[in-house]
Structure 1
Amino acid sequence: MARKGILTPGPTKSAETPTTPPATKSAAARMMPRGAVGALQSSLSKLQENAVQDIDASLIDDAGVEDRLGHDSAAQSQLRDSLATYGQQVPVLLRPHPKLSGRYEIVYGRRRLQALKDLGLPVKAMVRQLDDHALVLAQGQENTARQDLSFIEKASFAAQLHDGDYDRQTIAAALSIDLPMVSRMLKVGQAFDLPFLRQIGSAPGIGRDRWLALAKLFEDSAAKSRAMAYLNRPEFSEGDSDARFEAIFERAGQKQSATKPSPPAPSKPRTLRGVDGKALADIRSTKRGLTLNVPARTADGFDVWLNEHADELLKDLHARWQQDQTPQDD
């Protein structure tokens, strides 16, 4: 549990000198200790912010903006094993929970926090007083310093900040980029919703140009529908994040025939026969459609039975036809 500084200023106001009008001083200024006491309090506050404390992981809640897309179970397992063997070498950064006394919010170090929770170990953390603006700046700059976020994770981070009404200057500062790059990242990040990006994952090998190309393909609703339908296929989750992107890109880019298939040319009637070679029906294809004729005189009741079961038989045939139209992967 974080300890309060021994010189934390109380609610009592300091005396005001007659020569200074009260209106010229803020309430915060009237409460701050002066002289040597004030300097000591400032030094102790800075030391406390930089001091590493052991904090119960169950007291730490999530905060900030989602900066990781997908979950790399292998990397998380490796991190957990490292922490179990060598202990936590790098502290996480927390802030006191703005609404719940005695609790904290994570600023950065989410993967370490989760691994320590799994191990049942306390979290070594620095605790700093940060408002929401300072929180996203600290989170973004720490991620940028690690240089292990992919392009789409940074673009998604920028889009989430933009949706949270942070201005572009703040986004640029959080990601340590210039304003033109903010515009380029937002063009990609805002083209895809977060649930879709979570399913793709970080795609570390996919750069800006490929994501822009996918965004362009998604402008065609049919192309987007083809790609999104593949998300529910079992084989989608078999590959890594880069492979999932490539599979979606391939399906979005599949060329569809611009014209409907030409109707078959009129043909002569042909006879459909049963397994015993007996004639069952005549079938004929014309420009107007397909005609099936079951002569009653030779059907021996088959025509009546076919009429009673026509609905379910036709549905089964149509389902088989739809299955044949779905492209199958090798």
Structure 2
Amino acid sequence: MNQKKRLSAIMGTPVQADAPPQASAETSTGYTPVAGATPPSPALEKRPAAARSMAAMWAASRPAPAEADGAIVELDPDLCLPSAIADRVPDVTDEAFDAFVAQIREQGQHTPILVRRHPRQAGRYEIAYGRRRTRAAKALGKPVRAVLRDLSDTELVVAQGSENLAREDLSYIERAHFARNMEQAGIARDVILKAMGVHRPDLANYLAVAEAIPAPVLAAIGPAPKVGRPRWLTLAERIKAARPEQVETALASPSLAGKSSDERFTAILTALAAPPPRKAKPRAETVKDAKGVKFARIERSSDGMRVTLDETAEPGFADYLAERLPEILAAYRQGKG
């Protein structure tokens, strides 16, 4: 059973076999096939040339029949618009996309995308899933194969979530991003839970992370496929503690250029790390004799005191003091006693 027949069985709609080439019709009648128009009948081919021409013009001007729900159609990718609720975070370094395009060029599009008629733009379609396949078809200048369904807003979101969230390459922040976008669009929590396939505590965690990461930071980093929730929370804490200009400097750093999404995350996380606490400089004071000559320097810190004696001011005094330190300590203890 080929791809179209399998999908026909799933969707419950007959799929017509691929039409045979129209070269002979074009050559003998001058008729150019038009999408959705009825091809010329044998009777048309026997008519005079003027009659055939008028019939061909009439056929070309007829509106295309409405596609049945569940039909597999070929669409102009420029007419297929992304869902209003984004589930992907763009990545300017998506090197895998070029390989994906090459695969479709060589092997064709195996799996159709899912679309509905756009509720606000006549003649256009809204993608439930398959945005990447649509983008690849556009890059190749080919139509995109699609299953056309009459979907409500809720059905669109659930289909979008069920397909995209099952993909292994959807990162943690993309899942969080999708959940937050649904909430901001006014989607009911029960529908979000169904679309995400998670429980309420998990959804709360997704929403908390998405809320804590500003849009400019997410745009600079991208999907970061290898970064999980703990590190995103660490980044959120550092963003909260940093000054706005520190965040702006980190996002504008030239060092981000050419790095992968995961590497950009690490670079920004490192740039926003709190600097190590600076040790307070020890307080210094000088000791003078009766004549005002400086003979010692005392430096106090949190863990002790350093005494530096100037040998030029009083030669031999350092040795004298070192020998009598035990006596001085004993006298000190006795005085406390």
Classify the TM-score, shorter chain. Answer: 0.5 to 0.7
Residue number in structure 2 paired with 1:234: 254
The TM-score with structure 1 as length reference comes to 0.61
Structure 1 unpaired stretches of 5+: 6-46, 266-330
2:206 pairs with 1:191 = no
Q: Secondary structure at the match of 2:116?
A: strand
Q: Is the 8 A contact 1:70 1:199 kept in 2?
A: no
Q: Secondary structure at the match of 2:88?
A: coil
Q: Secondary structure at the match of 2:166?
A: helix
2:162 pairs with 1:141 = yes
1:86 maps to which of 107, 116, 123: 107
> 1:112, CA displacement in angstroms?
0.6
The CA distance in 2 between the partners of 1:262 and 1:171, in whole Å, is 59
> 1:239, CA displacement in angstroms?
1.6
> 1:85, CA displacement in angstroms?
0.5
> 1:48, CA displacement in angstroms?
3.8
Between 226-235 and 143-152, report the one with greater CA deviation: 226-235
The CA distance in 2 between the partners of 1:244 and 1:219, in whole Å, is 19
RMSD of aligned C-alpha atoms?
Answer: 2.6
Q: Secondary structure at the match of 1:238?
A: coil
Residue number in structure 2 paired with 1:255: 275
Structure 2 unpaired stretches of 5+: 1-12, 14-66, 286-337
Against the structure 1 CA distance between its residues 238 and 175, is the aligned structure 2 distance closer, same or farther, given a 3 Å change threshold?
A: same
Q: Is the 8 A contact 1:228 1:248 kept in 2?
A: no
> 1:73, CA displacement in angstroms?
3.4
1:56 maps to which of 62, 76, 98: 76
The CA distance in 2 between the partners of 1:258 and 1:225, in whole Å, is 21
Partner amino acid for 2:225?
P
The CA distance in 1 between the partners of 2:214 and 2:101, in whole Å, is 30
> 1:193, CA displacement in angstroms?
2.7
Against the structure 1 CA distance between its residues 137 and 225, is the aligned structure 2 distance closer, same or farther, given a 3 Å change threshold?
A: farther
Partner amino acid for 1:226?
Q
Q: Is the 8 A contact 1:70 1:200 kept in 2?
A: no
> 1:132, CA displacement in angstroms?
2.1
The CA distance in 1 between the partners of 2:176 and 2:284, in whole Å, is 50
1:114-173, Cα deviation, whole Å (9 max, x unpaired): 110111101100111122222221111111222320001101111111111223222211
Q: Is the 8 A contact 1:217 1:252 kept in 2?
A: yes
Q: Secondary structure at the match of 2:248?
A: helix
The CA distance in 2 between the partners of 1:251 and 1:169, in whole Å, is 39
Against the structure 1 CA distance between its residues 254 and 127, is the aligned structure 2 distance closer, same or farther, given a 3 Å change threshold?
A: same
> 1:198, CA displacement in angstroms?
2.0
> 1:68, CA displacement in angstroms?
1.6
Between 115-124 and 211-220, report the one with greater CA deviation: 211-220
Partner amino acid for 1:172?
L
Against the structure 1 CA distance between its residues 263 and 93, is the aligned structure 2 distance closer, same or farther, given a 3 Å change threshold?
A: farther
The CA distance in 2 between the partners of 1:226 and 1:97, in whole Å, is 43
Q: Secondary structure at the match of 1:66?
A: coil
Q: Secondary structure at the match of 2:257?
A: helix
Against the structure 1 CA distance between its residues 50 and 264, is the aligned structure 2 distance closer, same or farther, given a 3 Å change threshold?
A: farther
> 1:258, CA displacement in angstroms?
6.6
Q: Secondary structure at the match of 2:217?
A: helix
Residue number in structure 1 paired with 2:97: 76
Question: What aligned pairs does 1:82-231 form with structure 2 within 5 A after superposition?
Answer: 82-222=103-243, 225-231=245-251
Q: Secondary structure at the match of 1:248?
A: helix
> 1:101, CA displacement in angstroms?
2.3
> 1:49, CA displacement in angstroms?
3.2
> 1:65, CA displacement in angstroms?
1.7
> 1:87, CA displacement in angstroms?
0.6
The CA distance in 1 between the partners of 2:185 and 2:284, in whole Å, is 57
Larger Rg, first or second structure (1 or 2): 2
> 1:63, CA displacement in angstroms?
2.1
Q: Secondary structure at the match of 1:133?
A: helix
